[in-house]
Structure 1
Amino acid sequence: MRTFNSKLGLRHIINCTLGTSLSIGAGLSFAEHAPHASGMEEIVITANKRTQNLNDVGLTVAVVSGDTFINQQINSLSDLAQTIPGLSYTNSANNTPIYTLRGVGFYETSIGSYPTVSVYSDEVPLSFPVLAAHTAYDLERVEVLKGPQGTLFGQNATGGAINYIAAKPTDEFSAGVNLSYGRFNEVIGEGFVSGPLSDTLKARLSSRVERADGWQVSNSRPNDANGEVKNYMGRLQLAFEPTDSTSFLLNVNGWKDKSETAAPQYIGLIPQNAILDSGVEAAPFSPLKERAADWTPGLPSADNRMWQASLRGDIDLTDSISLTSLTAYVDYKQTQGNEGDGLPTGDIDLLDNAGKIDSFSQELRLSNGSESALRWVLGANYENSNVDQTVHLDISNTSSNATLGFALGYPISQTIYSSFQEMTNYAFFGNVEYDVADTITLKGGVRYTDAKTNVDSCNMDPTGGANDTGPFFFDILLGGSFGSYETGQCFAVNLLDQPVGSVPIGAPGNYVDTLNEDNVSWRIGLDWNPHSDLLLYTNISKGYKAGSFPTVSAFEFNQYLPVTQESVLAYEGGFKASVFDRALQINGAVFYYDYTDKQLRSKQDGGPFGILDVLQNIPKSTIKGLELELVSRPVSGLIVSTTFAYLDTNIDEFTGINAGGVPADFSGTTVPFTPEYQVGANIDYEFPMTDTFDGFVGGSYTYNSDTVSVIGGDLNPATLADSAVGDASIFEINDYSLVDLRAGIQSVDGRWRVSVWGKNVFNEYYWNNVVAAFDTIGRYTNKPATYGASVTFKY
């Protein structure tokens, strides 16, 4: 019987990650190396839907192994972003994770929005960012593909793709456990059991538990903490091979998140109306320290859960042609509260941010073997997703409440806004590689995608009060023309130039609309191998990301309008070189992106309601940059790696109101969340101590230059009354440097490992986002210095 390894990528090469752990926390395209003469062993990836040596793939792919996640304490999406050059992570105000890769990202807080950087688990799409929150455990590796994707993966993406590859069931019994204890009483336990159940059936059961005390400290209540962690994850895989030509992999996994959501630091006051709430007006700014924050007591919370089932089948139809089927269903439910303003009172808070995602996907593809000079993949995929989100918004301490209550007797205090969406997508794709000579390979791919989204959005008043939000619309704004407000009615007004559904011009109601789009994405390229240890490649690709509708608290229908699909035309050239008998690996790439209709969340003037959220397209922007990475093994046991990434981003054409409420022509400004420079370095040294165990030490360094959280972030709003940062740009994200250290001992046979570690050991104060939330501006900080010890055992 053949082993569970295949040219199609399902049967990944397991021992790729069972060698000596020489990981690169700086984010190089090497994550696990076993000694190979004086150099490093080849790394196997499946980025092209077939098993290949990383150095033979003419794409920019970063790889981080599962052992690296454990050894370097990579416990979150934010930690992963620190290991990949060109990748940035942002925590949104609604706790929706956002990735920006090589300057391509989409800052949108709705759970029902497709990302620019798509995420997969063993090639199965996790279509929306929230679904990938707790995927990183018991991994073989993670592959990050940079640049537009779509000709091979199940979702179009303009920025790139992240593929989490889980460790697979093994031919022989094995088990392992990793326990870690750190600052803030953080306890992390992860383990697996794997092995055969019969001659044709193997299984792997893995799980992870995370718990920690809160690390944020309330400015107004020194004994109150926020940020408690309670996460639970599990995965069961069954690998069934009834014949030598047929195999199936069933993966049932899920997680439960009962942690507390992040609270921002209150750093700026931007009154939207003449009269401020007395509590907001008197509130002091937060100290600019890593742990300082504030929140409404009892508000930051989560009770979210996700489960997924996927079935992969691989059937060899002939000696050279195989059929692959990927079927998946995911179910997600969200119930959480989000602190909006960083104050102990409710200027703007999300009392209940509830959501639900049901998503079904199916992919079928045919491919031939890797041995042929002409290698091809043909396939089709389908997705149907239903995404509902309902947010209970408390605005009882805003300047709108104070001003309208004083002037008109309508102290608006709360709303419930919602969107109910159905997305249906289907696509047909093909990819081909042809060796025109021993050293030259031509590549090409194309994909046709048809996307349809139906939406039903509403904003209503839940209180039933005679002088609250709904009555203000019906009595004052609409002058009583539509009678008295009844609790539960949708009060947003159709101020567009045509009826929407059953809602005529000038009337209130629910917004019902459909967005139909299609596109053709493609890629062409050439690989040249003038030497067995040198690859030169060039690619030109066109990628798309589907449009979407926002989930917003709208007062008029213009806020409900969707953004249309965006596209990127990308030019890239690069090289991969192994020199000095594989003692030194050098990779480099340069790229230029012509970005059309970039999607972003911005603002519009909402009159008495201040600046309110909308989605918009930026007509034109450009991105150019380069990446360089080196991994060397100067002596036995020592791995030294360095990375450098440079980005030059530019908004070529956009006039509007940015997410900070500043109206301007933003041509010539930079793209948000794109530091110009990212530098990383990593050292790992292993050395013998006795006949039975070795010692090891290691350290990682990461530097990110400054960037901004909004377009035109160097401009402060004219309405900024005061701030904690003086005359500085309030939406700036300062540069920062992080240092991680680790040391320990491990058995020679790899059975056990004991380590002590520190992350951000110099206690750098840094943040990843700055958000304007009605009358306030808040900053989302990252964790301070943490340290602890870990024990790993494998059987």
Structure 2
Amino acid sequence: MSGIRIGAYAAVSALAIGWHSMALAQTGVAAANDAPAVQQGTIGDIVVTANKREQKLNDVGLSVAVLGAQDLQQKQISSLQDVAQSVPGLSFTQGITGAPVYTLRGVGFYETSLAAYPSVSVYIDEQPLAFPALTQHSAFDLERIEVLKGPQGTLFGENATGGAINYIAAKPTDTLKAGASLSYGRFNQVIGEGYVSGPLTDTLSARLAGRFERADGWQYSTSRPGDRNGKAENYEGRLILSYEPSSSARFTLNLNGWKDNGETQGAQYIALQPQQIGWVPPAVENAPFTPLNPRASDWSQSSWYYPNHKVPFRDNYMYQAALRAEFDIGGIGTLTSLSNYVRYREHAGTDFDASALNVFEIPLDDGSIKSFTQELRLSNGGSSALRYVIGGNYERSIVHQALGNQYSYTSANLYFGTVFGEPFETTVGTSDQTLTNYAAFGNLEYDILPNLTLKGGVRYTNSKDKYSFCETDTEAPYYAGNLLHFFSNLLSGNPNLTGPYQPGTCVTMNVSTTQPPTAVDPSLPLYAPGRVNNTLHEDNVSWRAGIDFKPRPGILLYANVSKGYKAGSFPTVNGTVFGQYDPVRQESVLSYEGGFKATLLNRTLQLNGAGFYYDYSDKQLRTKFLDPVFGQLDVIQNIPKSHITGFELEASIHPTRHFSVNAAYTYLDSRIDRYVGVDAGGTPNVNFAGTRIPFTPKHQIAVSTDFEQPLGNSLAGFVGASITYRSDTISVVGGDTTPAAVTAKAPGVTDVYGIGSYALVDGQIGIKSADNRWRAFVWGKNIFNSYYWTNVVSGYDTVTRFAGMPATYGVTFAISF
């Protein structure tokens, strides 16, 4: 980062804080923060549901970050990428197919298969969105967002090894209320939101909310001036019905969904990494690298699958029906039932070679998810000295995905076309999975003294994943199918093992990725083509134990030790051998954490801190293996041992009701202890011990300030600014070093697979009515137009990166009735 840029950041911060400091002696109006102030200049209580019941945040012996409704609107937080930018320790990465990947405190799973569970689970009012693709457009009309850090397996399931993100939707109100907002921003972005809420009868109330977004493409083509990509066109809606027939029974039905007709992001070409040495097509070898500008990219205007359709596109939708039923049972407790059904369809194309040529891209990405979950639990609330939660849950998900790849301008196409007369050009891989999970859990808290609480929880999970995969060639004259049949005969030593390729049949060869090669499916001959069928059946016991101590009011000390698991999974990759589709085993994290929460200086200062150590076993990783014919191909594997050490500090000061400063810092030191594999350049048997884990920046900092000032009796002005910083990290294991296989890279690119450090500055300034009925403000994100990127991926011969959004700015008007 240049000295000029750092100086600019410092100047903006000094100006904002200086203005606020001069205003401290002036009379304030209503508090600008989301939590209501108890008295002028004090920090109000924030209520969260981290333990599946309502508690004050400062009474929860866990590390929890909370974003309130006003923050979400004023800072234009509408996606998990925005959430990640606002929460230190939480990182967002875009997969090559556009699905989000989250990493929390260094725990994450970079895997783009539709059926892969994340390490950071996402919920709407405790109802799970089990797969990352489902979570893309649900951050609207919310009361708050809770980010629970660390393994949450005992209460939130086996896949929450990194943590859990819980969207708390705004609920129906007892009186008639309505509100709307309209924003206009750069790239002709228009965002409209609105809601209406109130009672329908004495026992039934409803809230209807909606949101739409549209924007022109923000990326420009480096080969076709005037061509744009990256448009947004999203529609989101939610209806919540609350029914309370009696004081002991409550029902909440949440019907929500979204439709995305936008375009997938294009990549930036930064390095040449040939797979077949000496056979890179001249058009690719001589192609210019993408300028290191956040808006620069390139993409194909057509593909083999869509001859008249540009490759980057999206036509996806999701809808969810979730019913929460609660019954108070005498003096025993409350019985809660959570029933949840989610339906998702994906129809998209992604161009991640950053070229107008069809080098290596995914023009076909079709998929679907049908997921049903049911939880039943009994709890006795928070008033007793002994508090319990006991229950069980069930999940059944059916996931289908078809990935069609095009390799027209790869070295494989040129080599196999020239030498064998079979240019390897297109394949389609189709996977079908049925995932079934059963779990039973219990959680206890007991106050052995008024200020000393013991905690413990346990969950048993039994999971089963039934998997089927077939790779086919769907384009005549079936070059890929004929080529793979040729190699089946050649490698097996049996020229009659298979005949000419028959359209629609599976071409993947029955052989392992290990040496010596062995048959994976004993019912088929070695190297015979066929369908991959497999089942993964696992179980585990997650647990947590801890202690909370309050030495005096306003001070909480806590210590926790927990073990969490993330389920194993099968990949959806385009491959040539059965061994590529071996499942990755379940991973586990043993976590040690201690922390404090302190409310000081007459409730004007809040200090939180936590230190943690994660002992990681069998971390799941998408990596490479060396195919003897085609070079590097994707595979998922386990890293036997790794660890993460870190700490985080947070401070919030409210010297007056109209001025607040918040600051947070997270430190992570991640290390692989034992793993030998293939590096990003195809070098085998590399010992990665001592290298860092991908997507784990060592330093993350966030500082924000908000100020509000009366402007007469009926108006108030407000201003806010935030600075977030993330140090460098890597996108692949061993990414701190550029592989020897890279023969050329763009000027200014150092470590090809590195993700550079960056700082972003956001801000808002506006006016509002004194009674908060309306507000109008100007906002900006990435005000200084920092160039940063969140991922680096290798295709076939090319290495590309996905850049973050450039500077965006706009104006918003919001009103409530």
Shift of 1:73: 0.9
The residue number in structure 1 matching 2:625 is 604
User: Which residue identity lines up with residue 508 of structure 2 in the other structure?
Assistant: A
The equivalent residue for 1:283 is 287
1:700 and 2:722 equivalent?
yes
Cα deviation 1:38-74 (Å, max 9, x = unaligned): 3111100111011100000000000001221110011
Asked if the contact 1:603–1:660 (Cα under 8 Å) also holds between the matched residues in 2, the reply is: no
2:140 corresponds to 1:128: no
Paired AA for residue 135 in structure 2 = A
Specify the alignment match of 2:505 in structure 1.
489
Q: Match for 1:739 among 738, 761, 772?
A: 761
Say which SS state the counterpart of residue 401 (structure 1) adopts: helix
Partner Cα separation in structure 2 for residue 660 and residue 182 of structure 1: 42
Moved more, 342-351 or 31-40: 31-40
Moved more, 160-169 or 146-155: 146-155
- Paired amino acid for 2:463: A
Corresponding residue of 1:753: 775
2:159 corresponds, among 149, 156, 159, to: 156
User: Secondary structure at the residue paired with 1:151?
Assistant: helix
Q: Alpha-carbon deviations, 1:703-760, whole Å to 9, x = none?
A: 1011111111012122111001467211111100111111111111110000001111
Select 1:41's aligned residue among 39, 44, 48.
44
Report whether the alignment pairs 1:715 with 2:765.
no
Q: What amino acid sits opposite 2:775 in the alignment?
A: R
Aligned residues: 769
Shift of 1:785: 0.7
Q: Secondary structure at the match of 2:764?
A: strand
Runs of 4+ in 1 over 6 A off after TM superposition: none
1:780 pairs with 2:790: no
Q: Which moved more, 1:509-518 or 1:607-616?
A: 607-616
- Selected match of 1:578 from 593, 599, 615: 599
Aligned equivalent of 1:243, options 240, 246, 249: 246
Gap change, CA 1:578 and 1:183, over 3 Å in 2: same
User: Which residue matches 1:90?
Assistant: 93
Q: Which amino acid aligns with 1:369?
A: G
What's the RMSD between the two structures over aligned residues? 1.3
Deviation at 1:320, TM superposition (A): 4.4
Give yes or no for the alignment of 1:218 onto 2:240: no
- Alpha-carbon separation, structure 2, partners of 1:636 and 1:754: 20
Question: What secondary structure, in the 3-state scheme, does the structure 2 residue paired with 1:81 have?
Answer: helix
Q: CA deviation at 1:76?
A: 2.1
Q: How does 1:466-485 map onto structure 2 within 5 Å? A: 468-479=479-490, 480=495, 481-485=497-501
The 1:714–1:222 alpha-carbon spacing in structure 2 relative to 1, beyond 3 Å, is same
Counterpart amino acid of residue 211 in structure 1: R
Q: Which of residues 19, 22, 31 is equivalent to 2:32?
A: 22
Q: Could you list the per-position Cα deviations for residues 233-291 of structure 1 after superposition, in whole angstroms to 9, with x for gaps in the alignment?
A: 00011100011100100111110001100111000001101311222112110001111
Q: Is the 8 A contact 1:587 1:630 kept in 2?
A: yes
Secondary structure in 2 aligned to 1:178? Answer: strand
Q: Could you say which residue in structure 2 is the equivalent of 1:15?
A: none
* Residue aligning to 2:580: 559
SS in 2 for 1:783: coil
Q: CA deviation at 1:340?
A: 2.2
Hey, what's the Cα distance between the residues in 1 that align with 2:256 and 2:662? 34
Kindly provide the amino acid, as one letter, of the partner of residue 474 in structure 1. Answer: H
Separation in 2 of the partners of 1:770 and 1:197? 52
Task: Determine which of 336, 340, 348 is the counterpart of 2:348.
Answer: 336
Structure 1 residue 55 and structure 2 residue 58: aligned? yes
The one-letter code of the counterpart of 2:297 is A
Q: Determine the C-alpha separation between the residues in 1 that align with 2:145 and 2:442.
A: 24
Are 1:526 and 2:537 counterparts? no
The answer to whether the 8 Å contact 1:501/1:511 transfers is: no
SS at 2:81's partner residue? Answer: helix
Taking the aligned partners of 1:20 and 1:599, their CA distance within structure 2 comes to 48
Asked if the contact 2:437/2:463 (under 8 Å) is kept, the reply is yes
Alignment of 1:44-193 (within 5 A): 44-193=47-196
Deviation at 1:434, TM superposition (A): 0.1
CA–CA separation in structure 1 for the residues paired with 2:118 and 2:406: 28
2:397 is the counterpart of 1:385: yes
Q: Which runs of 5+ in 1 are unaligned?
A: 1-18, 24-30
Q: Is the 8 A contact 1:142 1:165 kept in 2?
A: yes
The aligned counterpart of 1:7 is none
Counterpart residue number, 1:516 = 537
One-letter amino acid matched to 1:205: L
C-alpha contact 1:125 1:154 (8 A) present in aligned 2:
no
Gaps of 5+ in 2: 1-28, 302-309, 513-517
**Partner letter of residue 389 of structure 1?**
Q
Equivalent positions of 1:381-460 (< 5 A) are 381-460=393-472
Contact 1:610 1:774 in 2 (8 A): no
What is the CA–CA distance in structure 2 between the aligned matches of 1:394 and 1:365, rounded to whole Å? 49
CA distance in 2, matches of 1:272, 1:742: 48
Amino acid at match of 1:545: K
1:689 aligns with 2:711: yes
1:21/1:68 contact within 8 Å kept = no
Q: Deviations over 1:519-556 (max 9, x none)?
A: 00000000000111100000000000000000011100
Closer, same or farther: CA 100–147 of 1 in aligned 2, 3 Å = same
Is 1:651 matched up with 2:677?
Answer: no
2:14 is matched with none
Q: CA deviation at 1:478?
A: 1.8
Instruction: Show the counterpart of 1:292.
Output: 296
Distance 1:710 1:793, change over 3 A: same
**Aligned-partner residue type, residue 543 of structure 1:** G
> Partner letter of residue 667 of structure 2?
Y
Code of the residue aligned with 2:474 in structure 1: it is P
Please report how far the alpha carbon of residue 662 of structure 1 lies from its aligned counterpart in structure 2 after TM superposition.
4.3
CA separation in 2, counterparts of 1:705 and 1:44?
32
Q: What is the CA-CA distance between 1:22 and the residue it aligns to?
A: 3.4
Which AA in structure 2 matches 1:148? P
Partner of 2:639: 618
Letter in 2 for 1:330: V
> 1:592-619, CA deviations, whole angstroms, 9 ceiling, x for partnerless residues?
0000000010001123322100000000
Partner of 2:473: 461
Give the counterpart letter for 2:287 in structure 1: A
Which amino acid in 2 is paired with 1:292? A
Question: Once the two structures are superposed, what CA deviation does each residue of 1:337-367 show, in whole Å capped at 9, x if it has no partner?
Answer: 0002111101111111000000000000000
Structure 1 residues 616 and 499, CA, compared in 2 at 3 Å: closer, same or farther? closer
Q: 1:472 to 1:286 in 2, by over 3 A?
A: same
Task: Give, in whole Å, the separation in 1 of the partners of 2:740 and 2:30.
Answer: 57
Q: Any conservation in 1 of the 2:41–2:658 contact (CA below 8 Å)?
A: no
CA distance in 2, matches of 1:241, 1:156: 33
* Distance in 2, Cα, partners of 1:578 & 1:723: 52
The 5 Å alignment of 1:496-507 reads 496=512, 497-500=518-521, 502-507=523-528
Query: What fraction of aligned residue pairs are identical, expressed as a percent?
Result: 53
* CA positional deviation for 1:640: 0.6
1:632 aligns with 2:648: no
Task: Please give the alpha-carbon distance, in whole angstroms, between the structure 1 residues aligned to 2:279 and 2:704.
Answer: 54
Is residue 684 of structure 2 the alignment partner of residue 667 of structure 1? Answer: no
TM-score calculated relative to the size of structure 1 = 0.95
Corresponding residue to 1:724 among 732, 746, 752: 746
Pairing partner for 1:679 from 681, 701, 709? 701
Offset of residue 75 of structure 1: 2.5
1:559–1:613 CA contact under 8 A, matched in 2: yes
CA positional deviation for 1:34: 3.3
Q: Distance in 1 between the 2:522 and 2:241 partners?
A: 48
Deviates more, 1:490-499 or 1:188-197: 490-499
